[in-house]
Structure 1
Amino acid sequence: MKKAEEMQIIKASEIARDTVEMVLRNRYISQHAAPGQFLHIHVEGHTLRRPISIADVNHEEETVTILFKIVGSGTRQLAANRPGMSINALGPNGNGFPVLAQPGKTVLLAGGGIGVPPLYYLGKTLKSNGVKLISILGFQSKVDIFYEKEFSQLGTTFIVTDDGSYGGKGFVTDVLDDTGLFELYYSCGPGPMLQAMTEKLKGKPGYISLEERMGCGVGTCLACVIPASNGDGYKKICKDGPVFHAGEVSL
């Protein structure tokens, strides 16, 4: 069982509509976090912790960056914390993205909304390994967009919005035919998006990361189970995931 860690807030700012970027300092978590893992964060006045993906890590400064959307009282309370304060977190939790691509290969990163953050640390890791990156980032509207510049520094980046207010109009899957060839894909976002991605890219090797409400966050309470696609029981998103091989679970 992982022990809770105190993480000092170094920076906190709203970088898009109701979207907060928070930089946290903790030596243990910063040295052990892998792309695709998450923190399970305690929020004052709330019983259940909030699972939030790790967006970036700086080993030298011993910091971890998270991004989250303000969607209720818990995330609103978390967003109210200011630099100099501390938060309590379990982590790093879950199984992250397997970093499989070899130097010179081309990989697609496809994220929707708050599913975008965990792909950034993955993209930085892949690029440092000599992998060529193509990214598709989907948002509701222009005011919801974040990290466009950061992903563009990693490789070719496409932006789509539901309402067409910025970039292409439509969904992440609408751009797949425009990306060119790639050997492997990684995707994170809402269930319907992942369902469409895995269907359209059937037969192509890939990994998906699931967003889910959780209870314990460590595989004990069974609040975040999902059926295995082979009919052999269930997978725990918090412990067996949140990353799964495309087709491993029934979406």
Structure 2
Amino acid sequence: MKRKETLLIKSAHEIAYETTEMVLQNVYISENAKPGQFLHIEVAGHTLRRPISIATIDKENETVTVLFKQLGEGTKALATYQAGMEINALGPSGNGFPDRDTTDTTVLLIGGGIGIPPLYCLGKKLAKEGVQVVSVLGFQNKASVFYEEAFNELGKTFITTNDGSYGEKGFVTDVVEKVADFDCYYSCGPLPMLQAVTQKLKNEKGYISLEERMGCGVGACFACVIPTDDFGGYKKICSDGPVFDANEVSL
């Protein structure tokens, strides 16, 4: 259950081009967060909170780690926050990735850009459960790459860049076909990437996590709705998601 919490910033630094990693300490959130959930963070001087996915959960040290791109004025302001400062957040928010089917022995993680952090959180959990993890991660260029070594520790990892400056040139969908066998896939990233992934893997079992700007973050304002495959139906990304069955929503 999400609630308003104060979190202590333990560390904050840029780990790739315009990409900030922030370690936050809070007992309640570290104890209750699950892979796929997010924090709805308040930024001083900005009306709307910013939804930031959780990348790691460390119950022993009572911390969670978040990553975000410095895209708009809000996230640029958040990137100036330093260790020792406190922030306010609603969390852990949203519905995360479902518990895996016990018959799934190999999973495929497909991430793009800032959609990669929640997949790392999931991958760590699955690897601890003895699942074989294969990851395909897409970035714009070499300067934007992060967490490559961390994913390599989970299992076989492919890196793609749009311009070919690192890894394989192209998109994640160009590499997915190299993964011969998997029982389930999980994907998070920009909408065009998710559209391409779900189309390419339409006959496979999978789950997607949607990136979306939000208003209230609690399901009251209807600012982040997405149509479902049911005629006339809608889901709220902030409260019903951000994770959905790949065949549940219309992208």
Contact 1:16 1:144 in 2 (8 A): yes
Secondary structure at 1:155 match in 2: coil
TM-score by length of 2: 0.98
- 1:87-128 Cα offsets, whole Å, 9 max, x none, are 000000000001314377100000000000000010000011
Q: Which runs of 4+ in 1 moved over 2 A?
A: 101-104
Secondary structure at 1:53 match in 2: strand
Counting aligned pairs with the same residue, the percent is 65
Contact 1:99 1:126 in 2 (8 A): no
Q: Which residue of 1 aligns with 2:113?
A: 113
Q: Which residue of 1 aligns with 2:210?
A: 210
- 1:165-223 Cα offsets, whole Å, 9 max, x none, are 00000000000111221010000001110011111001210000000000010101100
The worse-fitting range, judged by mean Cα deviation, of 72-81 and 138-147 is 72-81
Letter in 2 for 1:203: N
Contact 1:226 1:249 in 2 (8 A): yes
Q: Distance in 2 between matches of 1:214 and 1:189?
A: 16
Letter in 1 for 2:109: L
| 1:99 corresponds to 2:99 | yes
Give the number of aligned pairs. 251
Report 1:49-88 matches (<5 A). 49-88=49-88
Q: Distance in 1 between matches of 2:3 and 2:114?
A: 26
Letter in 2 for 1:113: G
Q: Distance in 1 between matches of 2:176 and 2:85?
A: 43
Letter in 1 for 2:5: E
Q: Which residue of 2 aligns with 1:46?
A: 46
Alignment RMSD (CA, Å): 1.1
**Which consecutive residues of structure 1, in runs of 5 or more, have no partner in the other structure?**
none
| 1:192 corresponds to 2:198 | no
Q: Which residue of 2 aligns with 1:24?
A: 24
**Which consecutive residues of structure 2, in runs of 5 or more, have no partner in the other structure?**
none
| 1:37 corresponds to 2:50 | no
Q: Distance in 1 between matches of 2:154 and 2:68?
A: 22
Q: Distance in 1 between matches of 2:115 and 2:80?
A: 22
- 1:17-72 Cα offsets, whole Å, 9 max, x none, are 00000000000000000000000000000000000000001000000000000001
